[in-house]
Amino acid sequence: MPTATPAVAAGIKGGMPPSKTVLVTGVSRGLGRALALELAKRGHAIIGCARSVEKVQALQSELMAVSPDASSSSSASPPSKHLITHLDVRSDSAVRELAKLIAESRRVPDIIVNNAGTINKNNKIWQVPAEEFDIVIDTNIKGIANVLRHFMPLMIEKKHGIIVNMSSGWGRSAAAEVAPYCASKWAVEGLTKSVAKELPPGFAAVSLSPGVINTDMLASCFGSSAALYQTPETWAPTAATMILSLTVEDNGASLTV
């Protein structure tokens, strides 16, 4: 039987799980931001990306502040174990460069949460502009594919990993006036189940519906009634526990927080 490394053994002895490196896309707001902060509070290292330069810079500072080891460092400017960068997952070349940086810095993630997503403005499908339709598909489907294309080879070298592709209740049902979004999330479900059959031993890919959460995207559909639902900050602790608890036995599952 293999023995635990000193770091892992110390974590087990102290009742704390070993720290993981988690890649979260779309971290600038909503679910991604809340999840990244919750994971950082628990001592995990965050790699994150988003399109907003200002929000990326602000989140980097927040993650450093909430990390358990933030106050224990004797250095005036301690190196951050978190890496948050400005990036659009629709760009395959940008994702490729991030993967290269991660490989060089030896921060290959243990868990990937493909969270970046967008939704169309409420409209019948024949009234949705082609450019808007493309943005939904390119972000919600191609964005996941870009991340998997460049990060899976790195994770396979580590011989373990968990892939969480954020889905939706509308990836398992449908609603009027959000056909592009529904189509993209149904695609996420199918893509995930297919990828699950391709993974080597030691891996799992799951599609995860967050439930109904009061985010900007929900407000775009529900209007003021979105405020009736829980906030991302309330949702994040349950979601983080669930994601950290995933194992290879969950491979191919469609789950809901």
- Residues involved in catalysis: 181
Is residue 36 a contact partner of residue 46, using CB atoms and an 8 Å limit? yes
Is residue 82 a contact partner of residue 67, using CB atoms and an 8 Å limit? yes
DSSP characters for 3-39? PPPHHHHHHHHTT-PPP-EEEEES-SSHHHHHHHHHH
Residue with tokens 């009061």: 214
What are the backbone dihedrals phi and psi of residue 126, each rounded to the nearest 5 degrees, phi first? -75, -5
d(CA 82, CA 3): 28
d(CA 90, CA 138): 6
Q: How many residues belong to the chain? A: 257
